[in-house]
Amino acid sequence: MKAHAETFTIRTRGKGTTEITDKVAHVVRASGIETGAVTVFIQHTSASLIIYENADPSARTDLHEFFDRLVPEDADYFVHTAEGPDDMPSHLRMVLTRTSEVVPVIRGRMTLGTWQGIYLFEHRSAPHTRTIVVSVVGT
């Protein structure tokens, strides 16, 4: 049995998605674990993680637009407004997606499907530095 964990940061450019698959794959390789699972975790409440289509960028354009409409910035019932109009929608968009993604590891590699990538989903308008923790457990 082995367990291995690493932390890295990503600088975002404001709202949108940034692929982090290669960075996670690097930690899996460094772990030397052949069979098990990797947990990817984001230490924030206004950004989140998703596993998403990595082939056609238009699918990510529509994703961003969908979340802008599902959780609008100008909801008149928000009381948590001290940090600006994009803050409360950020928490809600985070809670509708994921704080962690878990992927099995077989023969030393994540078992992602052909079109799957791991993405950091930034919900704030301004650029932020986000911390990601990756933990691999197995044999």
Min separation Cβ 135 and a second copy, Å? 4
126 binds a second copy (CB under 8 A): no
- The DSSP code sequence of 21-82 is HHHHHHHHHHHT-SSEEEEEEE--SSEEEEEEE-S-THHHHHHHHHHHHHS-TT-TT----T
Token code pair at residue 29: 């390789």
Q: Is 18 in the site for a second copy (CB under 8 A)?
A: no
* Part in contact with a second copy (CB under 8 A); list of ranges 8-16, 18-26, 38-46: 38-46
Contact code string over 69-108 relative to a second copy, x by CB under 8 A:
xxx---x-xxxx-x-----x--xx--xxxxxxxxxxxx--
